[in-house]
Structure 1
Amino acid sequence: MQKCFRHRGSERAMLPLGALLVALALTACDRPQAQNKSQQTAPPPAVTTSQPVVSELVEWDEYTGRFEAVASVEVRARVSGYVDRIAFVDGQAVKKGDLLFVIDPRPFERALAQAQAELEQARTKAQNSALDVERGKPLLERKVMSEKMFDDRANLLREAEAAVKVADAKVATAELELAFTRITAPIDGRMSRATVSLGSWISAGGTANATLLTLLVTQDPIHIYFDISENNYIKYKRMAELGALGGKDGKGADVEVALPDETAFAHGGKLDFVDNRLDPGTATMRARAILANGKQMFSPGMFARVRLAGTPLKSTVLLPDAAIGTDQANKFVLVVAEDGMVSRRNVQLGPLHQGLRIVRQGVGPQDWVVTSGLQRARPGQKVTANRETLRLSAVRPAASDAPVSR
């Protein structure tokens, strides 16, 4: 009887505990249903979408170039002597033939006078020898003079005539050296500073020991050199063959230049040289353009940005950079369908144009691309799209809007 009583007491104690477990289980089952119900009732995230801008334009390839003078002359003396005069101001613009330096001419004037005197002396001897020959002819006919004596007189005449030529050449040399004491500008251009002062001794010649007097460079026009990659060189050659880039060799193609403090490429030039071999160390080809420099804005040694047409004029799709996402491997955009479903598109990008990014591949003009709220949209989910129209004028060009190949 006591054993039966204990069993019934245990059953009464377990009843409240079982009811509690059942209540907890029912509560746990109700929570996800409530959460799902709240999720189902939440509206899709709002984003802004726009169709790409379509514009007819040329894509440009940008390079870093360096200006160099069309002609550059190291001014050195052709005769040695002391500087007697400096006839220009440092940095002065000069014309061909303008006087730059004068070397003390007095030693050269004396040398010229001596050479002229020697020439006169040689002419006198030649005249006397000629008279001796003329006097000897009748004597030779009458057999008064031997043939040997007459031949000796004729040989002296020839020697005297040769001596006249030697003396004449010495006079010409002395005149030339005297003329070299006046150093003039060989080309039009702008002077550097004078590296010598009045009274300085300068050595002549074209060797390393010759004294450098100054440097003269041309200013207008001016060259700019830049290096293009092997792939771009091949691209330009194919464009040139189709007549889309200058002549058959690419010469004459339009080139645009911007200085470091300029945003726009406001200076135009023409491609006038492409090297005949690829640099094996850098896998680049040296190219050169020529530009007018009437305002003296460019100076040899300056750096500038250079761009060359990388494509012919074509219809191009553009989007703002805010619409472009990046992962580890690709650039992409999110496209919203008519029903609000989001899908991902990998894109191939080009340079900036008036604040918008050129999209070479991946989207079309009719696609609605997420331009704002990119972080709220997920591929495979729906969004509420607020459609807006993009315009080139609505985006302010940035300082980095330089067309660059990517």
Structure 2
Amino acid sequence: MSKIESSLDQLVAKLGQLKNVGKARLCALWQKASPQVGKLKQLDFATVKAIAIQYKWRILLVIIILYAGSKAYDYFFPASTKGGGPQTITSVVVEKKDIPLIIEATGTIVSSNIVDIRPMVTNTVAKVHIKDGDEVKEGQILFTLDDRNDKANYEKLRALADDAQKQYLRAKELVDKNFISKAGLETSLANAKSAQAAAKSAEVQLSFDSIRSPINGRAGIINVFPGSLVQASNAVVSTTNAASTSTTSSMVTITQLDPINVQFVVPEKDIPILLEGKQADKPLTVQVTVGGDNKNVYEGQVFVVDNQVDPSIAAVRVRAQMANPKMTLLPGQFARVTLNANTIKDGLAVPSEAIVISPKGRLLYVVDKDNKVSAKPVKVTYEYQGTSVVTGIESGDRVVVEGKQNLRPGSKVREAKELKAKTAESPAPSTANTSEKK
């Protein structure tokens, strides 16, 4: 303790010495300056005027330099920055409105109906009634096969059926006269029915020689010619040699192009939105573009959602149908689909860039009537193309969009539009003054 007390005494003594030295130096300085102060007291108005006239240009130059320096300082260091003034922001006022729920997907154009025409019997093509790419109607004859044998067989069986029918009628008359038994009549009836059935079978066989279109559509490339042998199988059997070339395929494919379908997949996470919209009274509408053509937009309606989710891609298949009167859409084309799945009634939408992601979650800066901001936590229920639907704020709230990086709750803000308006108005007076001086 004695060492500490001695150290404190030494420190107090040194401070006393410094105080005495400071007083002595201030007294000496005052004694030196007192004669100059006396001279200033002796200056009168005439002397000051003479000095001002003598050094007027120097005085004016100093004033101009001081004024320019002051303006430059105010320009590079505005009052808001120097004094911690309000921060400049851009904001929007949130309003309630109906917001469509959009699902974007990629898909493929598919035909509503497509049929591969194949023969039901083994025969030779007698005549081709259509050309490649023709539009055909339902029931129109496409090909005629050699029907001579089938026609002769049908006529033979038809004649036997007619004769059996006559025999039955004659037996019926004889039974009434008791010339034959009822058993003979029943046998005659069975023979007549059997002959009729054989005739109808021959008629069906004959009909296979006239191949008709089962749907309305467009014919593709024809793979057979008059004289080609076709077989009753899943494919047209053909060979390639030096004289002719044929392919193994259907005789022709008929494709319905109007209306036409688009097939696409919807991710599993969007299935609830899709099903809610499908259960509503309003039909689900789609907008389709193909390839790189974004000018032509085709509109259609969803008519089927698959009954199971494909686990390999975690998505469900959806088909929509649209009109194609100009036949500009063809099966197999790549398509971009925009599906209007549902509508959020009275939703609150804000620009997605206004949302701040913090460690505690997502929040928005809301400006009050005193231009002070407060942070409100929000929940994003839907987001599409830079717009987010949120909950946690009220309609009419003013939300900060730009300039939120350095904001804190309670910060003072100023709208960027107001600042631009003041900046635009400020140069006008200075220009006018300059022109007047000139």
Kindly report which structure 2 residues correspond to 1:281-320, keeping only aligned pairs within 5 A, or say none.
Answer: 284-302=315-333, 303-319=335-351
Matches of 1:273 and 1:235, distance apart in 2: 15
Call closer, same or farther: CA 1:105–1:165 in 2, change over 3 Å.
same
Matches of 1:267 and 1:117, distance apart in 2: 58
TM-superposition CA deviations, 1:136-194 (whole Å, max 9, x none):
978xxxxxxxxxxx77x985x86666445444433332232222211111122223322
Query: Which has more helix, going by share of residues?
Result: 2
Higher relative contact order (CA 8 A, sep 6+): 1
Aligned to 1:202: 230
Tell me if the contact between 1:342 and 1:380 (Cα under 8 Å) persists in the aligned partners: yes
- Structure 1 residue 183 and structure 2 residue 211: aligned? yes
Tell me if the contact between 2:94 and 2:399 (Cα under 8 Å) persists in the aligned partners: no
2:414 counterpart SS class? strand
Call closer, same or farther: CA 1:169–1:267 in 2, change over 3 Å.
same
Tell me if the contact between 1:336 and 1:385 (Cα under 8 Å) persists in the aligned partners: no
Matches of 1:178 and 1:226, distance apart in 2: 43
The answer for unaligned runs of 5 or more in structure 2 is 1-78, 238-248, 419-438
Aligned to 1:41: 82
Question: Cα distance, 1:305 vs. partner?
Answer: 0.8
Match of 1:173 among 196, 201, 213: 201
User: Structure 2 counterpart of 1:309, which letter?
Assistant: A
Kindly report which structure 2 residues correspond to 1:94-173, keeping only aligned pairs within 5 A, or say none.
Answer: 94-116=136-158, 118-119=160-161, 126=167, 155=184, 162-173=190-201
Relative to the length of structure 1, the TM-score reads: 0.61
Aligned to 2:387: 357
Aligned to 1:75: 117
- Structure 1 residue 253 and structure 2 residue 283: aligned? yes
2:251 counterpart SS class? strand
Question: Cα distance, 1:286 vs. partner?
Answer: 4.1
In percent, how many aligned pairs have the same letter?
24
2:200 counterpart SS class? helix
The answer for unaligned runs of 5 or more in structure 1 is 1-37, 139-149, 240-244, 390-406
Matches of 2:133 and 2:194, distance apart in 1: 44
Call closer, same or farther: CA 1:268–1:212 in 2, change over 3 Å.
same
**How many residues matched?**
325
Matches of 2:148 and 2:130, distance apart in 1: 22
Call closer, same or farther: CA 1:98–1:198 in 2, change over 3 Å.
same
TM-superposition CA deviations, 1:59-107 (whole Å, max 9, x none):
2231424443333323222222122222223333222111212212223
Call closer, same or farther: CA 1:168–1:384 in 2, change over 3 Å.
closer
- Structure 1 residue 87 and structure 2 residue 117: aligned? no
Matches of 1:357 and 1:384, distance apart in 2: 24
Match of 1:385 among 399, 402, 414: 414
Relative to the length of structure 2, the TM-score reads: 0.57
TM-superposition CA deviations, 1:314-333 (whole Å, max 9, x none):
243232x5545567996655
1:311 counterpart SS class? strand
Answer with 1 or 2: which has the greater Rg: 2
1:318 counterpart SS class? strand
Tell me if the contact between 2:101 and 2:344 (Cα under 8 Å) persists in the aligned partners: no
Tell me if the contact between 1:94 and 1:190 (Cα under 8 Å) persists in the aligned partners: yes
